[in-house]
Chains A and B, each alone.
Chain A
Amino acid sequence: MPGKLFFSILLILLLPLAHAGEATPTADDVELEKRVMAVSGELRCLVCQNQTIADSHADLAIDLRNQVREKLRQGMSEQQIVDFMVTRYGDFVLYRPLVKSSTWLLWFGPFVLLLLALGFLAFQLRQRRSAMLREESALSADEHAQAASLLSETDKGAQ
């Protein structure tokens, strides 16, 4: 159990520092721990059912968290750690998939779809308006009068 071993070592190291009656934080460096959790929050615990290694209590997750902590301590950047994990475990470990040709659809699909949909919407609305204008000009004088009275009623009613 490397996790327990780690905590035991940590505990022995920290015991002299602890004030009587105050619980020992499992992390000695709060700022470092924030970075550890931020990186861990993007990595998948490979033995769990869809959990990040930040959330999981599995031994593998605790081990990987410790590795992340160690590497940050050694001065590696977040990106370097992520790269290291990908070389070791493959793309599957990343909750933020890398942007590459096989994930273009995933990353850009929604935004391209949004632009297409907006373009199509604008086009449709214009089309529709011109179709309505054509329809309207085809109305007889009687129908015009009827429509006008309906519209005036409508304006009163709506809003």
Chain B
Amino acid sequence: MIPEIGHFALIMALAMALLQGVLPILGAAIGNATLMSLSRPVARGQFVFVAIAFACLAQNFLGNDFSVLYVAQHSNSHLPTIYRFAAIWGGHEGSLLLWTFILTIWTVAVTLFSKQLPEEMVARVIGVMGLVSVGFLLFMLFTSNPFERLIPAAADGRDLTPMLQDPGLVIHPPMLYMGYVGTSVAFAFAVAALLGGKLDATWARWSRPWTTVAWVFLTIGIMLGSWWAYYELGWGGWWFWDPVENASFMPWLITTALIHSLAVTEKRGAFKNWTVFLAIVGFSLSLLGTFLVRSGVLTSVHAFAVDPARGVFILSFLGVVIGSSLILFAWRAPKVGLGGGFDLVSRESMLLLNNVLLSVAGAAVFLGTLYPLFMDALGMGKFSVGPPYFEAVFAPIMAIAVFLMGVGPFARWKQASVAEMTKQLGAWLAASVVFAVLITFAFDHWSAPIIGGLTLGVWSLLSSLAYLVTRVRESDAAGVWPKLRATSRSTYGMLLAHAGIGIFILGVTLVKGYEVSSEVLMHLDETAKVGNYTFRYLRSEEVTGPNYRGVRVALEVTKNGANVTALYPEKRVYNVQTMNMTESAIDTGLFRDLYVALGEASVKDEWIVRIQIKPMVDWIWYGCLLMALGGVLAVTDRRYRLPVQRRQAAATTESATSQPESARVDPSISF
């Protein structure tokens, strides 16, 4: 009965989504206030029905209802409860339901936090999100219904892939999807603005916090995925340039560009067309990413042929969304004005350059990810595109972007002087190189790429610091503390995010340059010395988990005779899928990780053990966290907490003049 309720709820949700996608947009077009006012209640109604469907699927999993095909495929009665819940998004159909559920959550958020927006704008934004939801609900109902029955019911389920039985599954996909789906809000704002023909600075101001929040989720989602791969896969890598990873990285790059482009559109009214275009591309890539990962096309282009209905729907849906929004763009875009003027060297042009570099970097990832697929589909041979390609093509483009990231904030709006910026930053750049060289002294060797990477990392940190110093010096407030307080939260957000990039680069460079790895065959009581650490094989013991059996090895770690820690790597065999899993053991530290994974065992108490010492590897994720924190600071800036009337007043003055300049409204706001 419960699966049928879920199925019915999905059908009702589709009906609501259709109403939500058609009536408010129609109302906005013909100026009918009643139709427009439907947007909020209908969107909330859709949320309720999708939530019911989601709750039904959750109940099917938690209640072990193996008469539901999807549950029988992805769960098992011995699976721990938390994984039975997370198994909802362990496969294709449930992932789509999660996607749709999160989309309705974002839509409800828009209905709640849009009181200051004009009714037409709200109607169009919610309408566009309704149309996206229609696509997903149709896809689910016609090709990927999670509630499909299995008759006769299975006695027990085929279990969740052991690889996914990890806390990472509980948190990573929802975070990532919050980011993916969040880009739909920026997209909906862009399309709404195109529909209304009013692409002004106020539009940018409204969609900016939404874009930043989506970006924060995307950043955290990707970070969690990388960390999960690091400890779960057992060979200590943190990024593999796998198509699945790239699928999430492309929207991140474009959304990062969008955040910067929105800043110019909001403050200077410029690049409106470009900003709208980025919003469309960012969401299109999110859609592409969802489908790439979920359609199975990555494993083989021929997976499409196995289930042509899904493939055809995916391609048509992508075609309709991307095609219609680009046609709308081509039709409406030329009508928008130029906005404020600026020189060839200015904050504006620097941000444009940032956009060019990030977009080209995104295009490189796109090309590397999809090239093998296209070549295979066209019968032009099978290729592999992997880390060596991306390191050769992506890295140099991003290196330029990171260097300019340090310079950009120093460029003044409208007109900047290269000589002045050189004067401000020359010493800091020199200091970055010196620091980079000094860091290599702590290790036994160096190379040009290591020095280059370290310089960029230190440069990101020092240039952010330099900017803060300059701001404090130029501030009118008396005393350092008041000066620091006078600096806006969004400025701190920017600096923190840029510094996060620096921390990230330092982590990447140091772990790549200086990690030590050793593979040894160990017997009881034997020791292995790796780096400055000594690992001793203490004992091994049998372990029995809820749905697996395995062996746990205890290793004692000492450094110069002093005890450091004990590590317990495991080798597991999961009962249902009889799959061998390596559970690595990691001792996490601020400056190094000790990473131990078991290889093959030929006889009892004899193991091949892979021991790795990874300097600064955690800085990779600390850097991502700093970036996300920067985003959080930016969206909690004072201007977003201003009283509604004041904001509305500001909005009307801005749209009345051809030169919107938010700095005029509130001098404390800058970037």
Compute how far the CA of A57 lies from the CA of B527 in the bound complex, rounded to whole angstroms.
Answer: 23
8 Å CB contact of A24 from B364, B392, B521: B521
A114 touches B608 (CB 8 A): no
Nearest B residue to A151 via CB reads B659
Known: A22-B526, A25-B518, A150-B659. 9 other contacts (CB 8 A): A22-B528, A96-B386, A96-B388, A102-B375, A103-B383, A106-B368, A107-B389, A111-B393, A128-B338
Asked whether any CB of chain B lies closer than 8 Å to the CB of A131, the reply is yes
Given contacts A50-B242, A125-B344, contact A157 B371 (CB under 8 A): no
A154 touches B382 (CB 8 A): no
Compute how far the CA of A150 lies from the CA of B341 in the bound complex, rounded to whole angstroms.
Answer: 13
For the complex formed, measure the closest distance between the CB of B350 and the CB atoms of chain A, giving whole angstroms.
11
B356 touches A90 (CB 8 A): no
B525 touches A21 (CB 8 A): yes
A26 touches B383 (CB 8 A): no
Nearest A residue to B356 via CB reads A117
Compute how far the CA of A122 lies from the CA of B576 in the bound complex, rounded to whole angstroms.
Answer: 61
Quick one: which of A30-79 are within 8 Å of B by CB? Answer: 41-42, 44, 49-50, 52, 55, 57
Given contacts A24-B521, A96-B389, contact A110 B360 (CB under 8 A): yes
Asked whether any CB of chain B lies closer than 8 Å to the CB of A105, the reply is yes
Asked whether any CB of chain A lies closer than 8 Å to the CB of B158, the reply is no
Compute how far the CA of A49 lies from the CA of B518 in the bound complex, rounded to whole angstroms.
Answer: 24
B385 touches A157 (CB 8 A): no
Compute how far the CA of A112 lies from the CA of B243 in the bound complex, rounded to whole angstroms.
Answer: 23
Compute how far the CA of A132 lies from the CA of B389 in the bound complex, rounded to whole angstroms.
Answer: 43
Asked whether any CB of chain B lies closer than 8 Å to the CB of A91, the reply is yes
A4 touches B600 (CB 8 A): yes
Given contacts A113-B363, A150-B657, contact A26 B338 (CB under 8 A): no
Given contacts A107-B393, A121-B353, A121-B356, contact A26 B608 (CB under 8 A): yes
Compute how far the CA of A23 lies from the CA of B383 in the bound complex, rounded to whole angstroms.
Answer: 40
Interface size bracket, A side? 35 or more
Compute how far the CA of A107 lies from the CA of B519 in the bound complex, rounded to whole angstroms.
Answer: 35
B349 touches A97 (CB 8 A): no
Compute how far the CA of A53 lies from the CA of B306 in the bound complex, rounded to whole angstroms.
Answer: 29
Given contacts A107-B393, A118-B356, contact A52 B386 (CB under 8 A): yes
- Interface pairs A-B: 8 shortest CB-CB: A95-B386, A157-B663, A96-B388, A110-B364, A23-B520, A23-B528, A92-B382, A23-B526
Q: How many residues of B contact A (CB 8 A)?
A: 67
A55 touches B661 (CB 8 A): no
8 Å CB contact of A23 from B368, B389, B521: B521
Quick one: which of B363-385 are within 8 Å of A by CB? Answer: 363-364, 367-368, 371, 375, 380-385
Q: Is the interface of B mostly helix, strand, loop or mixed?
A: mixed
For the complex formed, measure the closest distance between the CB of A45 and the CB atoms of chain B, giving whole angstroms.
10
8 Å CB contact of A55 from B237, B380, B600: B237
Q: CB-CB < 8 A to A111: which residues of B?
A: 393
Which of B237, B338, B341, B361 is packed against the most chain A CB atoms within 10 Å?
B341
Quick one: which of A74-106 are within 8 Å of B by CB? Answer: 90-97, 102-103, 105-106
Asked whether any CB of chain B lies closer than 8 Å to the CB of A142, the reply is no
Q: CB-CB < 8 A to A147: which residues of B?
A: 659
8 Å CB contact of A44 from B353, B364, B384, B599: B384
Asked whether any CB of chain B lies closer than 8 Å to the CB of A159, the reply is yes
Q: CB-CB < 8 A to B397: which residues of A?
A: 110, 114
B352 touches A91 (CB 8 A): no
B385 touches A95 (CB 8 A): yes
8 Å CB contact of A50 from B240, B344, B389, B609: B240
Q: CB-CB < 8 A to A97: which residues of B?
A: 383-385, 389
A7 touches B380 (CB 8 A): no
Compute how far the CA of A110 lies from the CA of B366 in the bound complex, rounded to whole angstroms.
Answer: 10
Compute how far the CA of A15 lies from the CA of B353 in the bound complex, rounded to whole angstroms.
Answer: 61
Compute how far the CA of A158 lies from the CA of B602 in the bound complex, rounded to whole angstroms.
Answer: 70
Interface 1/0s, chain A 130-159, versus B by CB < 8 A?
Answer: 011001100000000001001001101111
Nearest A residue to B411 via CB reads A159
B521 touches A158 (CB 8 A): no
Nearest A residue to B233 via CB reads A55
B387 touches A159 (CB 8 A): no
A49 touches B368 (CB 8 A): no
Q: CB-CB < 8 A to B338: which residues of A?
A: 128, 131-132, 135
Q: CB-CB < 8 A to B519: which residues of A?
A: 25-27
Q: CB-CB < 8 A to A11: which residues of B?
A: 521
A23 touches B609 (CB 8 A): yes
B670 touches A25 (CB 8 A): no
7 contacts between A and B (CB under 8 A): A11-B521, A21-B527, A94-B383, A110-B367, A113-B363, A129-B341, A159-B412
Interface 1/0s, chain B 219-244, versus A by CB < 8 A?
Answer: 00000000000000001010010110
Q: CB-CB < 8 A to A26: which residues of B?
A: 519-521, 608
A8 touches B382 (CB 8 A): no
For the complex formed, measure the closest distance between the CB of A157 and the CB atoms of chain B, giving whole angstroms.
3
A90 touches B521 (CB 8 A): no
Asked whether any CB of chain B lies closer than 8 Å to the CB of A16, the reply is no
Quick one: which of B506-534 are within 8 Å of A by CB? Answer: 518-523, 525-528
Nearest A residue to B528 via CB reads A23
B386 touches A92 (CB 8 A): no
Compute how far the CA of A50 lies from the CA of B298 in the bound complex, rounded to whole angstroms.
Answer: 10
A23 touches B522 (CB 8 A): yes
Asked whether any CB of chain A lies closer than 8 Å to the CB of B537, the reply is yes
Quick one: which of A1-30 are within 8 Å of B by CB? Answer: 3-4, 7-8, 11, 21-27
Which of B237, B519, B521 is packed against the most chain A CB atoms within 10 Å?
B521
Nearest B residue to A136 via CB reads B341
Compute how far the CA of A107 lies from the CA of B522 in the bound complex, rounded to whole angstroms.
Answer: 44
Nearest B residue to A102 via CB reads B380
Asked whether any CB of chain A lies closer than 8 Å to the CB of B549, the reply is no
For the complex formed, measure the closest distance between the CB of A95 and the CB atoms of chain B, giving whole angstroms.
3
B341 touches A95 (CB 8 A): no
Q: CB-CB < 8 A to B382: which residues of A?
A: 90-92
Compute how far the CA of A103 lies from the CA of B372 in the bound complex, rounded to whole angstroms.
Answer: 10
Q: CB-CB < 8 A to A95: which residues of B?
A: 384-389
Q: CB-CB < 8 A to A93: which residues of B?
A: 384
Nearest B residue to A155 via CB reads B414
Asked whether any CB of chain A lies closer than 8 Å to the CB of B211, the reply is no
For the complex formed, measure the closest distance between the CB of B249 and the CB atoms of chain A, giving whole angstroms.
15
Compute how far the CA of A114 lies from the CA of B401 in the bound complex, rounded to whole angstroms.
Answer: 12
Q: CB-CB < 8 A to A106: which residues of B?
A: 367-368, 371, 383, 385, 389
Given contacts A23-B537, A90-B382, A95-B388, contact A117 B522 (CB under 8 A): no
Asked whether any CB of chain A lies closer than 8 Å to the CB of B664, the reply is yes
For the complex formed, measure the closest distance between the CB of B288 and the CB atoms of chain A, giving whole angstroms.
18
Q: CB-CB < 8 A to B189: which residues of A?
A: none
Given contacts A23-B526, A106-B389, contact A8 B356 (CB under 8 A): no
Asked whether any CB of chain A lies closer than 8 Å to the CB of B565, the reply is no
Q: CB-CB < 8 A to B582: which residues of A?
A: 57
A91 touches B353 (CB 8 A): no
Asked whether any CB of chain A lies closer than 8 Å to the CB of B667, the reply is yes
Q: CB-CB < 8 A to A128: which residues of B?
A: 338, 341
Interface 1/0s, chain B 300-338, versus A by CB < 8 A?
Answer: 000000000000000000000000000000000000001
